[in-house]
A and B are shown apart, each in its own frame.
Chain A
Amino acid sequence: MLRVVLVRRELGRRTYAVLMGSSAVLSILVSIVVVALASSMPPQTLLFKVGESYANLNTLRYFSTLTIIGLGLTVAYSAKLWNIGAEGQLVVGAIGATAVALFTPLGHIPVLGIVVGLILASLLGLLWGLAAILLKLKLGLNEVLVTLLLNYIAYYTADYLVYGPWRGIYVHGYPETDLIPQESWLLRVYGYSFSYPVLLTALILVVLVYMVMKFTRLGIAIRAYGSNPRAVELSGISSFRTAVAAFVISAALAGLAGGFELFAVHRKLVPGYKIGAGLGYISIIVAWLSGLNPLLVPLSAYYVSGLMVFRYVLQIGTVNIGDAFAQFFIGIALLSTLATSSLARYKIKVVRS
């Protein structure tokens, strides 16, 4: 009798990237077939739309944000600390950026205002994460639950501000602040929704996070913490500080992404769910698909960004298909890629028995 068994194996970065790349392509094909069957849309149209989405420069708008947040999450996840709160950290980051741009004179000073706003955004994100990791380390509260709940607190804080004290004068009753001064805008590339400074920061951060994780004692300690906090202590490094560092790095990067979202995309504070827009959640998938390798984060971020653009392409395209189908499509694609990402760690073998 023949049987199929799975054997665990070690994967190099390159092999993993190639495997995941092919798995991403396959997953999209699977989605195309499923959605075509369910929606009576011709598969070649869907295929064309997907190609169009990935070729569209607007992917870079999502790519930048997802790369920044995804990078941070790989840091926390390497320490086996599960920060599910990037969404909330992003929202408080955006609140911080708004505060600087709208309510301080810095908002009218080019460059400096933006830099200070981004610093405050990162700082607020960091504090949001710090609260969660301290609750875990000091009181033993599960960080997954805490960060998840903090997301709602962040959402409603933003809502309170835009419905209440920060509601703008020129907004015709909408729950949002006034636009921030033009000096605080990060300019987008003409005709597109992405912005060079954000993209550049994301790419610099890829290298930076990689270097920190690979070539500093802190980075090694963060990864060591994931497999054994005691080994970290024995090496003369505080495991407490290591865990805090890993967590706040991830939270600060999510906060930074929130600041960028505000300066480059929204340019005013809107209700929490619109600011977050699920970017913090989908970054979890970005981090996961990268195999927690910072150098692969851009690849997984690009894959996910393409799907997000595809969603809009489908909605505004000539083909009349509901957003539900688009989300259905994305869900199937991501689910199959995630499934293969864990299967990739195994070798399939056929044995006689």
Chain B
Amino acid sequence: MVEEIPVVSVENLTKRFPGVAALDGVSLEVRPGEIHAVLGENGAGKSTLAKILYGIYSPDGGRILIEGHEVSIASPRDAMKLGIAMVSQRPQLVEELNVAENIALSLEEIGILTSMKRVYEYSHKLVERFGLDVDVTKPVWMLSYTQKQMVELLRALAIEAKLLILDEVTTYLPKIVKKKLYGILKSLKFEGRGILFITHKIGEALDLADRITVLRRGKVVATFTRGSVDGDALRKAMFGERYAPQNEIVKKAPQRFEEKSVLNVEGLVVLGDHGELAVNSVSFNIRRGEVLSIAGIAGNGQRELVEAIAGFRKPVKGRVLFEGVDISREPPFKRALMGLAFIPEDPFKQGVAVDLSLAENMALKLVGKMFITFEESVEVARKAIDTLSIAAPSVRTPVGTLSGGNVQKVVVARELMAQPRVLVAYNPTRMLDEASASKVRRMIRSLADKGAAVLLISEDVEEAVELGDRVAVMSRGQIVGLFSAGSVNVEMLEKLMAE
């Protein structure tokens, strides 16, 4: 085989942040027509690599070559000019503009005087070419998260990128959409484009990638080719000494639950962001020591349901009872004080104060304390770092500068360390690598074993079954099935979810 010139190759790339080397001599290449996965645990340096290639960070050392020529990428604009496009976990679209206008923004050659008619035609063609279900005249704020991500992808495709960087894009995508995305990526691959696919999910890397490079603490552990590696080998490479096969989580026998329930939800009706009926008369109760899992495809009202229970969204009808007390009208902070902990969907926007340090974010929930000494806040932050192995340069680091998975860990740690009596968790593990996810599941289970009532929303059906004492399925705003965990399997649930 003739040696092809790689679309991109990085040599000895190094990036330091105060107190930590995010990338330490990383070398890898993406060939034309290759899907190259970069796999690693939270905070391994994956996103830093992506941000350097897209011109958001500048490297401290090393070289970047695009099709054999050394380049310096100082901004996303530079990156686009070089034929690099990136889609990340969070869509970066202009909410007020419509889809076609957003696409037009990334098209350099279109110029400001091009007629919008051409832009619409072009956008239409793109949508059709990839068989997507997006109305290009709709303003972006009206789109769902999934649709926004598709528009992001369209924007990347519109510039005919040679290298497409996907940074943890699957985190919030429902399974069906993921499959569609995989299809699109494969067709791009046959067009000869290079794809850098960043993920912390071993399964995704195995499904999709031609080669997999594993990063750990900013260093390349190994690069594997497709077929020459299995999940276990990848796991060992990712986690090193932290890797240990885990036993199954043991649940209490169901008859041991006390009859009195801690959390009652009665006929809850909640509207979505655009006034649509998101939760349509949902009722359930959770007893002391019990975990109720709700499985379902994202966008079926789960987010609105948990927000109503936590107090961030007003229900139009129905009640939420906490140990028999109606809390439907209480503000969120009162519910938190009563002992209701909440792990929200987006840790950045809903979970933490990004400008504050890790220590201050943790200290914020030291309920009952008026004065907090520096030592106290450091202590509680250290505890969080140790329990969930949060990768942070120091406890004084602003939380907003941590990687997504680590910010999620901060939220989980803060909420669980408050020893809540009710925990409402919305996909608590989906941003986490396997080792951390398993740790969080254990923590949630042990919280329940100590007597808390847990409502777990999970798109991961296996997780829902593994953790839940009962599993419910939510579809179109309603609970369409409720089973005890012993009497149900993953296939049954998935079938029910898809109906």
- Which positions in A face B, CB cutoff 8 Å? 3, 5, 7, 10, 215-218, 220-221, 223-228, 230-240, 349, 351-353
Contacts and interface: CB of A to CB of B under 8 A. Distances in A.
A217 B352 contact: no
Given A216-B371, A237-B333, A238-B331, A223 B342 contact: no
Contacts, number: 111
Contact of A226 (B75, B355, B364): B355
A228 B349 contact: yes
Interface of B: 18, 58, 71-72, 74-75, 78, 310-312, 331-334, 336-337, 342, 344, 349-356, 360-361, 363-367, 369-374, 398, 400-401, 414-415, 418
A215 B349 contact: no
B56 to A, nearest CB: 10
B401 to A, nearest CB: 8
12 contacts: A215-B374, A223-B353, A226-B353, A226-B355, A227-B356, A227-B400, A228-B350, A233-B312, A233-B333, A236-B337, A236-B418, A351-B72
A4 to B, nearest CB: 9
A49 to B, nearest CB: 41
A216 B365 CA distance: 12
Contact of A234 (B71, B74, B351, B355): B351
A227 B370 CA distance: 21
B392 to A, nearest CB: 13
B355 A221 contact: no
Contact of B342 (A220, A234, A351): A234
A231 B336 contact: no
B371 A220 contact: no
Contact of B333 (A10, A223, A232): A232
A221 B364 contact: yes
Q: Determine which residue in B342, B354, B360, B401 has the highest number of CB atoms from chain A within 10 A of its CB, and name it.
A: B360
B63 to A, nearest CB: 12
Contacts of A217: 363-364, 366, 369-372
B343 to A, nearest CB: 9
A224 B398 CA distance: 11
Contacts of B337: 236
B370 A216 contact: yes
Given A221-B364, A235-B364, A238-B333, A230 B312 contact: yes
B297 to A, nearest CB: 25
Contacts of B78: 353
Contacts of B71: 353
A92 to B, nearest CB: 30
A239 to B, nearest CB: 7
Given A232-B364, A236-B337, A351-B58, 19 more contacts: A215-B374, A216-B372, A217-B364, A217-B371, A218-B370, A220-B360, A224-B361, A226-B353, A227-B400, A231-B361, A233-B311, A233-B312, A233-B331, A234-B310, A234-B344, A235-B336, A236-B367, A238-B334, A353-B71
